[in-house]
Structures are given as structure tokens and as C-alpha cells.
């Protein structure tokens, strides 16, 4: 079986089953559920990091975006721990039927 490539990743990030229910109608994008898309690629034999990197590459090729932000979560002891949150999105017209 050939090694999964960016075409496989494009299928994963445009599969309606791997999209979240959220989108942005102002920018005509749909949000990708990162966990589902990465899991779909892992089922093809990729490791987690490889699957994630290939998915991000596919989003770029589709003209989508990967937005990163850092949120601070409060901890019980008064400290806070930063957490990186990514939002993956693809153009609505790239979503498979």
C-alpha cells in the first residue's frame, strides 16, 4: 500500500464527517475537527505528527487557514497555564458532498 500523501490529507480535511458544526459565513469557511481528520490519516498508517503535518499542508493547498492562539487557564493554586489552541478551516466550496 503506498504511503499516504497530500491527496489523502485533502480528502480527510474536506470530508463532511471530519468537519465541526462551526464555520464562518462571513469568510465562507468550514472548521475542520482536527482530531477526526488526524484520526482518519492515522488509520492510513501515519503517525500522529506525520498525519497532523500532512493535514496542515492540505489545508494550505486548499487555501484554508490554521489559526493559532494562546489561552491562559486558571489553575487551582492561583497559577495559570498557557494552552495553544488551533482552529483549522477550509473553504466551503472545497468540502466534499
- Give the pLDDT score at 22: 74
Which pLDDT band holds residue 79 (cuts at 50, 70, 90)? low
Which range is least confidently modeled, 10-19, 42-51, 66-75? 66-75
Which pLDDT band holds residue 84 (cuts at 50, 70, 90)? confident
Mean pLDDT of the chain: 90
Point out which residues pair with 77 in neighbouring strands: none
- Give the pLDDT score at 76: 59
- Give the pLDDT score at 1: 67
3 state DSSP class of 62:
coil
Sheet of strand 19-24: strand arrangement: 19-24, 29-32, 80-91, 65-74
Amino acid at each position: 500500500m503506498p504511503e499516504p500523501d497530500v491527496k489523502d490529507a485533502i480528502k480527510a480535511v474536506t470530508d463532511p464527517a471530519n468537519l465541526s458544526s462551526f464555520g464562518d459565513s462571513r469568510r465562507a469557511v468550514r472548521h475542520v475537527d482536527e482530531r477526526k481528520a488526524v484520526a482518519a490519516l492515522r488509520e492510513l498508517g501515519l503517525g500522529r505528527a506525520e498525519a497532523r503535518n500532512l493535514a496542515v499542508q492540505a489545508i494550505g493547498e486548499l487555501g484554508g487557514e490554521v489559526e493559532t492562539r494562546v489561552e491562559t487557564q486558571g489553575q487551582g493554586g492561583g497559577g495559570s497555564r498557557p494552552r495553544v489552541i488551533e482552529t483549522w478551516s477550509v473553504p466551503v466550496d472545497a468540502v466534499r458532498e
